[in-house]
């Protein structure tokens, strides 16, 4: 007989999708008013936190594949939220930096965003919240483990 699969209601991939849905819901609501997407927000967040970055590092820290980043960067540049320039030393590489307009979007939404985070922390309880982050980190393909 066929090996048994876990019920889809207890499947880890599906649980991850649903949890993500739940977490992104209020965040998407917030971003809807700013006109940028969740991924664009992520890129701006990373640039705001780390400053000027080469594209490869930016892609890693934003958890985006390179083709996605290429498209998103084009969009963000079009909106005047980032600047891009080639590395003069190694002309294969490219540096990306957030603009004042981009930083303003971060600043304008930081309060609301922090509040959303706080609500999830309260919903789970601070301890379970940290436990969850730790467990998720152990599934990260790039985790040291």
Partner DNA sequence: TGATATACCTTAACATGTTAATACTTGTGA
Partner DNA sequence: TCACAAGTATTAACATGTTAAGGTATATCA
List the alpha helices (DSSP H) in 33-141.
38-50, 55-62, 66-78, 100-124, 126-139
Give the one residue of 89, 100, 126, 133 binding a copy of itself; rule: CB under 8 A.
Answer: 133
56 binds a copy of itself (CB under 8 A): no
- Alpha carbon distance, N-terminus to C-terminus of the chain: 36
Binding footprint of DNA, residue count (CB under 7 A): 30
Binding residue for a copy of itself, selected from 34, 63, 70, 84, defined by CB under 8 A: 63
User: Which residue in the set 55, 99, 103, 116 belongs to the binding site for DNA (CB under 7 A)?
Assistant: 55
- Shortest distance (Å) from residue 126 CB to DNA: 27
**How many Cβ atoms from other residues are within 10 Å of residue 108's Cβ?**
12
């Amino acid at each position: 007989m066929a090996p048994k699969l876990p019920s889809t209601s207890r499947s880890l991939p599906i649980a991850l999708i649903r949890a993500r849905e739940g977490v992104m819901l209020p965040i998407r609501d917030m971003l809807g008013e700013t006109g940028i997407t969740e991924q664009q927000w992520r890129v701006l967040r990373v640039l705001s936190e780390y400053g000027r970055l080469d594209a490869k590092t930016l892609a890693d820290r934003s958890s985006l594949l390179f083709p996605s980043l290429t498209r998103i960067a084009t969009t963000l540049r079009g909106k005047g939220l980032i600047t891009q320039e080639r590395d003069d030393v190694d002309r294969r590489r490219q540096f990306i930096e957030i603009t004042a307009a981009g930083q303003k979007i971060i600043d304008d939404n930081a309060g609301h965003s922090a509040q959303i985070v706080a609500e999830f922390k309260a919903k789970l309880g601070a301890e379970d919240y940290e436990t969850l982050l730790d467990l998720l980190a152990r599934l990260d393909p790039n985790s040291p483990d």
